[in-house]
Amino acid sequence: MRARRAVLLLAAAAALAGCATGTTGAPDGSAAAKTPAATGPAVTPSVPAAAGNTPDGTLLVADFGGDTVTFVDPERGAFDRVEVGTAPYGLVVGDDGRAWVATAEGVAVVDTRTRTRPALIPYETETGPVTTGEYRGGGMGIALAPDGRHVYVGVNVPGAEGVLEVIDTGSRKVTGTAPVGRRPFDVDVSRDGAEVYATGHDSFDVTSVRTDTLRTRRMEVAPYGTEGGLGSWLKPHYAVVRPADGKLLLPFEGERLAVLDPRTGKVAIEPMTAGTHQHGAALAPDGTLLVVGTGPIASDDEEASLTVRKPDGSERVVPLDGPHEDVAVSGDGRTAYVTGGFTRDGYWNGITVVDLAGKSAPVRLAAGERPLGIAVL
């Protein structure tokens, strides 16, 4: 059945949708693409909190459908928002409480304690007019150095190769750039801070960038091959760095986990069980891998889900109601928060809260405007 799907996708490359080519509608007319974009309830302050008193455990989400980040109480809902710039995508939060948000206009700096935006750092890379939508130019994946001194943001340049920009967190200035793959969905940093990894969605690769010299090395990650090019669905999206050995874990289609050794560039494949198109990924403190299944892209795909994969490779698949995009996990490792923003149509304005022990059913929480990136404060 999977071989049949690959043939279907390649034959329909010119008409593919969503994260493949930028139109709407799935190659097989599946519900994931036909579902109209949800507007959802308006975000209104429901849990007032005094400025400078943002509670620990608050969720911060990037409102990809707007120009704000939203602060969310994980039990009661959204309570504040801060304007950051057009179409915020990824975000990362440092130990000092500063969030760094990749928008179409630049990287916004947000003080999460006072809930203000003290700075917007423009990109050095020319990305064209400021627009919205999945294919807009500007920042996508973003990561923070372990010592907190630099931020690394993957900048999408429509129709061209991407760029990794390095920002000094003290001066709030861009101090360097390096070429990376097309549409850098995700950016990750090695545990020692010596390398940055940019996942190039449209180039089937991960670019390793040395943080001291900015020298680059491209590594292909294409467990289904690269046939179909920009029209293929079977491309890398998000990655995590496994603490035990520094290898990158990249999920594909709920079928294959690509394990990339950045030292050699070699990729090993491990089986997965969700059988659905996959995007966001995160690691729990105990090494459990969480992977978001966005829903079907072909008639033999399963619906949206969250894969809970233990370090030994055993998996539990939690069904989700409707498309989702990214995931974060609570500090105690007990709860996952999955955003409903999704890069394609069919998104909804909320977060699903998942009890990772499986003792209670997932709960949907209205929050944000097409929420995409997420972090736990």
Q: In the predicted model, is pLDDT for residue 36 greater than 60? A: no
Residue boundaries of the structural domains of the chain: 2-376
Enter the tokens of residue 242: 């496994």
pLDDT tens digits for 225-246?
A: 999 888 899 999 999 999 999 9
pLDDT tens digits for 309-357?
A: 999 999 999 999 999 999 999 999 999 999 999 888 789 999 999 999 9
SS3 15: helix
CA distance to 137, 172, 206, 246, 347, per residue, from 310 (Å): 36, 38, 24, 17, 28
Q: Are 221 and 258 in contact (CB under 8 A)?
A: yes
Residue with tokens 């500007």: 138
Cα(36)–Cα(15) distance, integer angstroms: 19
pLDDT tens digits for 258-269?
A: 999 999 999 999
Q: Beta 98-102 vs 106-111: how paired, if at all?
A: antiparallel
Quote the pLDDT of residue 48.
52
Rg (the chain; Cα; Å)? 19
How many CB atoms lie under 10 A from the CB of residue 50? Answer: 7
Cα(5)–Cα(230) distance, integer angstroms: 17
Tell me the mean pLDDT in the region 9-17: 38
Annotate 21-33 with three-state secondary structure: CCECCCCCCCHHH
Cα(304)–Cα(157) distance, integer angstroms: 30
Domain 2-376 adopts which CATH fold?
A: Methylamine Dehydrogenase; Chain H (2.130.10)
pLDDT tens digits for 289-298?
A: 999 999 998 8
Residue % of the chain over a pLDDT of 70: 86
Quote the pLDDT of residue 23.
33
Q: Are 39 and 54 in contact (CB under 8 A)?
A: no
Q: Is the dihedral of CA 32, 36, 37, 39 positive or negative?
A: negative
Q: Tell me the β-bridge partners of 69.
A: 62, 82
Q: Decide: pTM greater than 0.85.
A: yes
Q: Are 162 and 156 in contact (CB under 8 A)?
A: yes
Quote the pLDDT of residue 126.
97
Return phi, psi of residue 237, to 5°. Answer: -125, -70
Return phi, psi of residue 291, to 5°. Answer: -130, 130
